[in-house]
């Protein structure tokens, strides 16, 4: 390759249109998935204190929220439910009249196929323990949790979901859910698993949003240690072998290497979840006037795309979509 002064890399940075012409990574609202929190038994929106501009919605507000998301050109939502009652078995996660099931039905009735409806499949919001699996003899019991996770996915499929998204990190959860869906004639419902969901400090604001902090212990026995990249790849490979349709790396910003490695190794769509702590850090700094929120949001989302993510679940979805289309 010729060297300076023959080679001048700044030539192609000279004007805005030149820079646009040679831009290598693109980002648009089509790349984004917007989380939506819906809470049972409330009549008005509730602000999530640790996540500025994020709200828990009553069922009556879900259609208005999704309408705004559709208008911004965002193709998908991820539903999270906060039930009125919790119990040891997490039964409100899979009952026909559960809060997520009702929300799915309302969205499907009002929007048809104008939005991809995704829904979280986990137990932490629904169990009195706050853990992602059922408790047996004081421990999170993997195998007894699988049937319940399958019941949740089937109940969401009956309500009209497009994609179920298991995040419990139980071994065998994808196979159990795929078998359950297929047995109930829901073979067209896709699975986007939180395949490499790491034990992370970046989840704290979400636990405030979804009221799902564990009541004892922690989640070290089922979430991936952030020190173990090979283990994360084994989780991804296992989900692919069990029939997953889309894999996920979670969190995103501090795991760009794993997003890139997943994209390099596997021929499967890759999602990344830019989690609540990533959002709260930027919002907090922006509220102090220390950073420009829009510029920093764009840089973060572009970096996740650059690493190899095909789609990004982000709490910045609405604001990013609005700014990207201005």
Q: Which residues are catalytic?
A: 197, 250
Strands 270-274 and 311-314: parallel
State whether the Cα torsion 168-174-179-184 is positive or negative. Answer: positive
Please, which residues have CB within 8 angstroms of residue 49's CB and are 6 or more apart in sequence?
208
Distances, alpha carbon 3 to alpha carbons 9, 11, 12, 154, 211, in Å: 10, 14, 16, 61, 58
Q: How far apart are CA 104 and CA 280, in angstroms?
A: 27
Between CA 63 and CA 301 the distance in angstroms is: 27
DSSP per position, 34-76: EEEEEETT-SS-EE-TTSTT-EEE-HHHHHHHHHHHHHTT--E
């Amino acid at each position: 390759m010729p060297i300076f002064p023959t080679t001048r890399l700044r030539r192609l940075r000279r004007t805005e249109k030149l820079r646009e012409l040679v831009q290598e990574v693109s980002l648009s609202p089509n790349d984004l998935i917007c989380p939506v929190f819906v809470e049972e038994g409330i009549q008005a929106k509730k602000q999530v204190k640790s996540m500025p501009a994020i709200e828990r919605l009553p069922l009556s507000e879900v259609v208005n929220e999704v309408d705004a998301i559709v208008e911004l050109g965002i193709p998908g939502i991820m539903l999270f439910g906060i039930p009125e009652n919790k119990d040891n078995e997490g039964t409100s996660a899979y009952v026909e009249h559960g809060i997520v099931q009702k929300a799915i039905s309302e969205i499907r009735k009002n929007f048809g196929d104008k939005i991809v409806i995704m829904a979280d499949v986990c137990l932490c919001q629904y169990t009195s323990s706050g853990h992602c699996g059922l408790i047996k003899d004081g421990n999170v019991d993997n195998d007894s949790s699988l049937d319940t996770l399958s019941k949740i996915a089937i109940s969401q499929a009956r309500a009209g979901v497009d994609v179920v998204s298991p995040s419990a990190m139980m071994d065998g959860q994808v196979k159990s859910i795929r078998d359950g869906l297929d047995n109930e004639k829901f073979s067209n419902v896709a699975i986007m698993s939180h395949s490499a969901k790491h034990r992370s400090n970046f989840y704290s604001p979400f636990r405030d949003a979804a009221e799902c902090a564990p009541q004892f212990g922690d989640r070290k026995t089922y979430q991936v240690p952030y020190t173990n990249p090979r283990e994360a790849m084994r989780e991804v490979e296992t989900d692919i072998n069990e029939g997953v349709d889309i894999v996920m790396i979670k969190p995103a910003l501090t795991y760009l290497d794993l997003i890139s490695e997943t994209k390099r190794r596997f021929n499967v769509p890759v999602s990344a979840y830019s989690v609540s702590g990533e959002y709260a850090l930027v919002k907090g700094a922006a509220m102090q006037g220390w950073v420009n929120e829009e510029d920093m949001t764009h840089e973060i989302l572009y970096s996740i795309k650059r690493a190899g993510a095909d789609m990004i679940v982000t709490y910045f979805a609405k604001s990013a979509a609005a700014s990207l289309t201005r």
